[in-house]
Structure 1
Amino acid sequence: MPRDRNGLFHQNTLPDYKQHSDVLESMIIKLYSKGITTREIADLIEKMYGSHYSPALVSNISKQMIPKV
């Protein structure tokens, strides 16, 4: 998150101290279950939403799906 001298900057995409969107995480799990690779998912998320999710992060999020299978 960028810093400013007066501490007045607030980002609009995520609440304070939240690093990931629940909606994007849900989408990642759905895409992964359809057989799309973690690298492809990371690229799609960045192109569509401008949020950088590394393939490793996508992999960690998609591991949440394993207990549900």
Structure 2
Amino acid sequence: TTNKEDAIAVLHAFCTKWGKVYSHVIRSLKAIEPDLLVFYNYPKQIRASIYSTNMIESFNNVIKRKAKPKAVFPTEQSLDAFIGIQAMSYNDRYFNRIHKGFGQVQDTLESYFD
């Protein structure tokens, strides 16, 4: 759907249809409903980037690839330090990258934080 009102209507129809069969899941959905569709508050150009997990999956793949040769970390602190260093390196590498759609709406986004 293209707007929040339509998405809420679809969500409510889904809850009505499946509420009796999957009552626990529907209760969970209703509990998070205010946060579930919050990406509709942002410009259309960046919505896919907000609700997508591609950036998270990419970072997880970097961690897996770099941790594989190490096999075992001697302590939990060494693992924490390793992941922290990888996160800082990843952030440094992509610091100046403008994610798809964000360049088009930069002024609008900046106005949200003024």
Q: TM-score, normalised by structure 2?
A: 0.26
More helix by share: 2
Name the structure, 1 or 2, with higher relative contact order (CA <8 Å, separation 6+): 2
